[in-house]
């Protein structure tokens, strides 16, 4: 093959505002992490490295969202310096919980605002792709650690794994779970992009939609189903927006639209789960 086998992919792993969980998800591939390092030329990973060589990268994997001016500067600089920018995790891809601030009342956090130095000035919490072009997304809060591996293993060979597009339900049913919607619980699996192996439902919890909406979601129907199960509109909005509110700009319109009111669905299970 023509590819130069000695020329390893120059990779940098960085984080801006976030919980470091995504970067940990890389390290927590305990059995493969040391092997992984032999595949790539890890130029920078400040989370675990002192020496971080700031230069041209082939691939930057970036955790976290833009929350202050410093973040924005770093994001722009990394974008300039890298052939490829990968948004790692929900904060990076959708804004995650911190971006939920857009949907909360200003008075809830107003008293927390205070004077900060220039570079610490707040920026509206926002995912990477609101500011720069993103080449690949590894969504999820936290991202699936195997998915990160798959991405790295693929990209060193020039193969980008197909991004997941199927709903969480696909993996959930394959794992042999009972459907939580049948128990009256507000699971967002049907409108959420899978790839997490439905971990939340495997663990007994509902999907809160952290990996973002599927391109093919039937939002009208999802809203209708949640209403059938006794959840009010406030609940539905809050739940859907917790992780990916910024990626559901149509939510309000759809909720007010007429369609979900006329769909005839059937639900014969328990009503109301919470309260």
Partner 1 sequence: MQVLRLEKKRLNHFLNVVKKGFELIAPVKSDLVRFSKIHHAEEIQLTKNSYFPVKEYFFRKEETLFQFEGTRITVPAYEAKKRVFFGIRRCDLNAIKNQDIVFIRDMGDPYYKAARENSYLLGYHCNTAPSPYCFCGSLDLVDFFDLMFFDKEDHFLVEVGSEKGKSLTEKYQEFFTDSQRLITRNEKTIPGVHRLENKDISRFYDHQDWKKGADICLSCGACTTLCPTCYCFEIHDEVKTADPVKGERKREWSSCQLQEFTRVAGDHIFRKEREDRFKHRIYHQLQYFKEKYGVQMCVGCGRCIEGCPTRIDFVRILNEMKNGKTENNG
Partner 2 sequence: MAKQKTTVENPYVPKPYKILEFHRETSDSFTVKADMKINHDPGQFVQVGLPGVGECPISICSDSREFIQLNIREVGNVTTALSKLEQGDTILIRGPYGKGYPMRYLKGNSLLIIGGGCGVAPLKGIIDYAENHRGDYKKLSLLLGYRSPDDILFQRELVEWKNKYHLQVTVDKNTHGKFCYGAREGFVTDALKSMDISNNNQAAFVCGPPIMMKFVIKSLKDKGFNDDQIFLSTERLMYCALGVCCHCMIKGKFTCVDGPVFRYDEIKDLEDG
Partner 3 sequence: MSKTITLNHITKIEGHAKLNLKIDKGKITTCELSATEGARYFEGIVKGRKYYAAHEMTSRICGICSCAHVVAALTAVEDALGLTISEQSCRLRVLLTLAERIRSHATHLYFLALPDYLGYESALSMAPEYKPQLQAALRLMKMGNGIVKLLGGRDLHPVSAGVGGWLKLPKQEEMEETGKELLKVKKDAIATVKLFAGLKQPEFESDAEWFSLVDPNEYAVLKGKFASGKSSFEKHEYRKFIEEYHQAYSTSNFVVKEDRRYFVSALARLNNNHRQLSRDAQKALKETGLKPPSKNPYHNNLAQAIELIHCIDHAMEICKREIKQEEMPEITPRAGRGVGAIEVPRGTLWHEYTLDEKGIITDANIITPTAQNLFAMQEDIRKRMPSLLKKKKQEIVLDMEKLIRNYDPCFSCAAHFLEVKWL
Which residues here bind partner 3, judged by CB under 8 A?
Answer: 15-25, 27-28, 30-31, 33-34, 37, 42, 45-52, 64-68, 70-71, 96-98, 100-101, 104-105, 108-112, 114-117, 119-120, 122-123, 125, 141-142, 145, 199-200, 202-205, 208, 235, 238, 242, 274-275
Query: Which of 123, 149, 254, 255 touches partner 1 by CB under 8 A?
Result: 149
48 is an interface residue for partner 2 by CB under 8 A: no
Beta strand pairing call for 10-15 and 57-63: parallel
In 122-158, which positions are buried (b, 16+ CB within 10 angstroms) versus exposed (e)? ebebbbbbeebebebbbbbbbbbbebbbebbbebbee
Nearer Cβ to partner 2, position 156 or 179?
156
Residues 128-167 that bind partner 2 (CB under 8 A): 157-160, 162
DSSP secondary structure letter of residue 162 = P
Instruction: Give just the sign of the alpha carbon dihedral 95, 129, 93, 49.
Output: negative
**CA-wise closest residue to 10 among 33, 39, 40, 36:** 40
**Spatial distance between the Cα atoms of 10 and 7, rounded to a whole number of angstroms:** 9
* Length of the chain (residues): 275
Query: Which of 222, 236, 244, 248 touches partner 1 by CB under 8 A?
Result: 222
8 binds, among partner 3, partner 1, ligand SF4, none (CB under 5 to 8 A by kind): none
Nearer Cβ to partner 3, position 4 or 107?
107
256 is an interface residue for partner 1 by CB under 8 A: no
Q: How buried is residue 194: exposed, middle or buried, by Cβ count under 10 Å (0-12/13-18/19+)?
A: buried
174 binds, among partner 2, partner 3, partner 1, none (CB under 5 to 8 A by kind): partner 1
**Spatial distance between the Cα atoms of 11 and 26, rounded to a whole number of angstroms:** 13
211 binds, among ligand SF4, partner 3, partner 1, none (CB under 5 to 8 A by kind): ligand SF4
CB of 163: closest distance to ligand SF4 in angstroms?
14
138 forms beta bridges with: 88
Which residues sit at the interface with ligand SF4, rule CB under 6 A? 140, 168-169, 172-173, 177, 179-181, 187, 189-190, 192, 196, 198-201, 207-211
């Amino acid at each position: 093959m023509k590819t130069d086998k000695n020329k390893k992919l120059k990779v940098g792993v960085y984080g801006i505002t976030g919980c470091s969980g995504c970067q940990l998800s890389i390290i927590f591939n305990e059995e493969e992490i040391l092997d992984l390092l032999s595949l790539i030329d890890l130029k920078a990973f400040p989370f675990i490295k002192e020496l971080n060589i700031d230069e041209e990268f082939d691939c930057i994997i970036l955790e976290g969202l833009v929350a202050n001016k410093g973040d924005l500067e770093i994001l722009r600089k990394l974008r300039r310096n890298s052939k490829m920018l990968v948004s790692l995790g929900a904060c990076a891809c959708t804004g995650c919980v911190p971006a939920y601030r857009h949907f909360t009342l200003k008075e809830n956090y107003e008293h927390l605002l205070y004077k900060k130095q220039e570079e610490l000035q707040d920026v509206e919490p926002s995912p990477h792709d609101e500011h720069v072009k993103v080449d690949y997304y590894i969504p999820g809060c936290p991202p699936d650690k195997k998915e990160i591996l798959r991405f790295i293993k693929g990209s060193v060979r020039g193969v980008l794994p197909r991004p997941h597009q199927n709903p969480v339900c696909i993996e959930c049913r394959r794992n042999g779970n009972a459907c939580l919607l049948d128990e009256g619980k507000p699971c967002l699996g049907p409108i959420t992009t899978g790839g997490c192996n439905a971990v939340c439902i495997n663990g007994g919890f509902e999907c809160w939609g952290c990996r973002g909406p599927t391109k093919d979601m039937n939002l009208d129907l999802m809203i209708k189903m949640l209403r059938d199960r006794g959840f009010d509109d406030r609940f539905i909005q809050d739940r859907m927006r917790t992780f990916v509110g910024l990626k559901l700009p149509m939510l309000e319109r759809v909720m007010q639209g007429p369609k979900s009111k006329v769909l005839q669905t059937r639900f014969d299970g328990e009503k109301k789960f919470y309260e």
